Each structure stands twice: as structure tokens, then as C-alpha cells.
Amino acid sequence: LCCLLFAVTNLTMTDFRLKRREASVLTLVCIAYLASDTLLSFSPFQEDSNNEQRGLLAYEDCNVDFTREPTEPIVPVFAASYPGSGSQMTHYLFEGLTGIPAADDWTVKGDDYNRIAIKTHYPAREHQVEGAGLMDRVILQLRNPLYSLPSHANYMYEHNNGLPDHTVRAPLSFWYDWRNNNFKNEIGLWGKHF
């Protein structure tokens, strides 16, 4: 999907500059992709004895090996979401569709004018981008908490066990413990995005 969209985008855009209308269309494509992924996804957890690898085959086969600095300064778009909402995949789609690097709020200030988007989990995670006052656009990525909370729990399992991101699914026992200890707080943080 991203290779096809990247090829079509390259045929229709010059100098990798996105007009607001084109940006809106790309956003709708990303939203449609994420919605279909959510609707067609399987259970976010595996039984304790079976931690299988996961990944999107289309994504693993799709390599956009380059990004380049924009030819003109651009003000990045904030890409805000609750953790576990698919923001990393969206981050890669921004880069694949535009050829311009994206970043996250832990690595850039937002005032370099050389990123297409800056991923953030604010306000769910209290870390603000220093150059946020410059940005006048935002893409709010929402995923049903029925799926985003378990996805975030999977990430926490990987992080707590020194595993690479997005490689295994947490055992059910981990999910039950995480959910029982964190649900009230995390659903409140998910709601802060409204």
C-alpha cells in the first residue's frame, strides 16, 4: 500500500511540497488504512505459551530507502495520538508518501523547518515540543481504546522485557495484570486527546 501510494504521490507532486488539499487526502488515506487494520485485526494477545512474531507483510516488503530534506522550509504538522494507536506506522507513511523525514517529540524541537510531521503522545504523555508554538496544524489519530490500550500494553511488555518494539504480543497474564493496575488512569489519558 505505501509503495503504491508513494509512486502515485511522486507522479503528482513537485518538489515534495504538499498543498493543504493534498495533505487532507493523504490523511484520509492514512485514516482509512488504520481503520481497516483495526477492523481486520486479530486478538492483540497470544496465549502465554505462544509469543508469535507480528508485522504487516506489505509493510515489511515495502522499503522507501531515502528521505530528503525539503527544498523549502516547512512547518511540520503535529501527529498526536494515544500510545498504541498506530502512530509509528503513520510516521512511516508520512515519510513514504512525501519523501520528507518525520520525527518524534523526543528527538526534535520542531523549529528546524525540515520535517513533514512530528509524532507526539501529548497530552497522554507529558512531554511538549519546544517549537510547538510554530505549528498551526495537527492530525489527531484516534484508535478505539478497545484496541489501543492492549496495543500499548504490548509495547510496555516489550519495553519491560528488553524486546524490540512491535515484535511480540504480550501473554494474557501480562495483559490482565496491566489492565487491572492501569485501566482507570490510561482510559483517562486516552480521553485527554479530545
In whole angstroms, give the CA distance from residue 133 to residue 176.
Answer: 40
pLDDT tens figures, 19-28: 555 666 666 6
Mean per-residue pLDDT of the chain: 75
Q: What is the pLDDT, as a whole number, of residue 182? A: 95
Q: What percent of the chain has pLDDT over 70?
A: 64
Are residues 100 and 70 in contact, defined by beta-carbon separation less than 8 angstroms?
yes
pLDDT tens figures, 36-53: 554 554 444 444 444 333
Asked if pLDDT for residue 134 goes beyond 90, the answer is no
Are residues 107 and 75 in contact, defined by beta-carbon separation less than 8 angstroms?
no
In whole angstroms, give the CA distance from residue 104 to residue 31.
Answer: 19
**Among 45-49, 59-63, 99-103, 136-140, the least confident range:** 45-49
Q: What is the pLDDT, as a whole number, of residue 32? A: 63
Q: What is the pLDDT, as a whole number, of residue 96? A: 85
Give Cα 79 distance to the centre of its chain: 8
Are residues 102 and 117 in contact, defined by beta-carbon separation less than 8 angstroms?
yes
pLDDT tens figures, 64-121: 567 888 888 888 888 889 999 988 888 888 888 888 898 888 888 777 888 889 888 8
pLDDT tens figures, 178-193: 999 999 999 999 998 8
**Among 1-5, 58-62, 75-79, 172-176, the least confident range:** 1-5
C-alpha angle 121/147/139, rounded to 5°? 35
Q: What is the pLDDT, as a whole number, of residue 13? A: 42
